[in-house]
A and B are shown apart, each in its own frame.
Chain A
Amino acid sequence: MTGMTIQWAALVLCAIAAAVRIPGALRGRGRTMCAALLLLTLAVGLSIAPVYNPVDAVLGGVNGANLLLRMTLYAVFVLLGVRVAAAFASPLAHRLVVGPFGLAVLGLTVAATLYFFGASELPFSSVGLGAFDDQATVQEYAAVGRLYPGYVAACLVLPTALSMLDRRSRPSHRVAGALLSSSFLLVVVFVVLRLTSLELLDWNVILPFSAIVLLVLGLGLIWLSHMLARRRSARDTGLS
């Protein structure tokens, strides 16, 4: 029950965060982040049966929607990785995400995802491929799908956490840094826990979707502070 609630909450928040950025994006401001949030909304939607089933039906009913969900999520993490690394001035994180090594990891992930997807028997629509959990290739497919987000999140935990500790930056950005940092940390914790033999039960849903909620709240705060600052406009250099 909690799982369902948080999934819907995440979906609504993502949709709102994406929607408020659309007017700006149409005028050419913040297009990448708007796209990232739209993709994230799509990914969250595809994790929920009422959205997954009709979409998958359109795509042929053989769980192509799940593959779409994976690829969307990878795209979201690449975009986020690049933008968060740049925003929090971390060249190291930037290199780790889109440097040669990062791109190699991404390539391998995409290739492995396609391979395991093709190697699985998926005759009918099932959200999260829950009905085929007993197949080894489906388990590998899911594991690969978690590892890449986990990798990118791990690269971003530190830069965002440092911004939270920076006493000189504005409070709203410190809070946003804290939200983003906890979000990425949750992703890492979730991925690591899944590597152990622990039974996560409800936490399988609560952990990743809490991470999404925190992420969207952090980004929303930054968007808000930007809007307010634009309103105050007239840049003051301190000469007066």
Chain B
Amino acid sequence: MAVTARAFQLWRTRIAPHDSVSDLCRIADVKRSTLAQQLVRGKVSVPTVVSIARGYGVPVVDALSEFNGFEDLPDGLAEPTDAELLSQISHIDILRLLVARSEAKESGSDMPPDLAPFPHRASVRAWIEAIDPGDLRQQLAVSTGVARQNLSAQLTAGRLAPWIAVQAGRIAGVSLASGLVVTGLITPEEGGWPEDGRDRALRAVPDLDLVLLARDRLDVLGRQMRRTELDDGRDRAIWENLA
């Protein structure tokens, strides 16, 4: 889903009344052919809007709020919850902290974890699981009209369409920008995620919860690896026998 070309034209004449489409592309570092094609089709993609907003120094969230489906974005901004923050920490960082704390009991120094950047491949799914009040996928499917299978496919691929990501935030009652942050459409700063948020949230986790969190993450990782291995085995069977 994208914004309509009409709405886009109205918006861009407001933020840059004297600039042509070529100026727009140069300043925003968008390929001219891409934007031209999107305008011809009547639909401009959300990442294009984000790039242009950045190019002109317009706050991305405000820019998006001009478009259908994102109007409530600025009002829906909030601090990310601890669960959201933790969902964006890789299992390696969690295990590192676990080991550091275990060793600190002996040596007395807590290693400051240097968290791996996010979002990463598993970000979207981890976020959806972190904010899920119980039937998030079902509600998402009903309210967006996108089939469950399609949603699952997007999550497996580590993607989620922007308007679905925002809708997920609405349903779960979390910051509406979070979905855009974890899908990588906007940066954590643009989405109002504090820079040291993940770090703080991770440090605040008590030992017991940290162990349980690590266990859950390893569980997920194990399941993923088993699936990968199964798929690999199937591919190998086909290749070894027929290639």
Complex Cα distance, B233 from A87, in Å, reads 10
Q: Which B-chain residue is minimally distant from A169 (CB atoms)?
A: B234
Is the CB–CB distance between A219 and B242 below 8 Å? yes
10 closest Cβ pairs, A-B complex: A226-B243, A87-B241, A226-B239, A238-B228, A83-B241, A87-B238, A238-B225, A86-B241, A222-B242, A87-B242
**What is the size category of the interface that chain B forms with chain A?**
10 to 19
Complex Cα distance, B239 from A225, in Å, reads 8
Residue B10 CB within 8 A of the other chain: no
Where chain B touches its partner, the secondary structure class is helix
Residue B207 CB within 8 A of the other chain: no
CB distance from A101 to the nearest CB of B (A): 22
B residues at A contact (CB < 8 Å):
221, 224-225, 227-229, 231-232, 234-235, 237-243
Complex Cα distance, B233 from A88, in Å, reads 11
Q: How many residues of A contact B (CB 8 A)?
A: 26
The contact sample of 24 A-B pairs, CB cut-off 8 A, is A30-B243, A33-B242, A83-B242, A84-B242, A86-B241, A87-B237, A87-B240, A89-B237, A168-B227, A169-B231, A169-B235, A170-B235, A219-B242, A222-B242, A222-B243, A225-B239, A225-B243, A226-B239, A229-B239, A235-B232, A236-B228, A238-B221, A238-B224, A238-B225
Complex Cα distance, B228 from A229, in Å, reads 15
Q: A176-229: which have CB < 8 Å to B?
A: 176, 219, 222-223, 225-227, 229
Is the CB–CB distance between B238 and A222 below 8 Å? yes
CB distance from A213 to the nearest CB of B (A): 17
CB distance from A102 to the nearest CB of B (A): 17
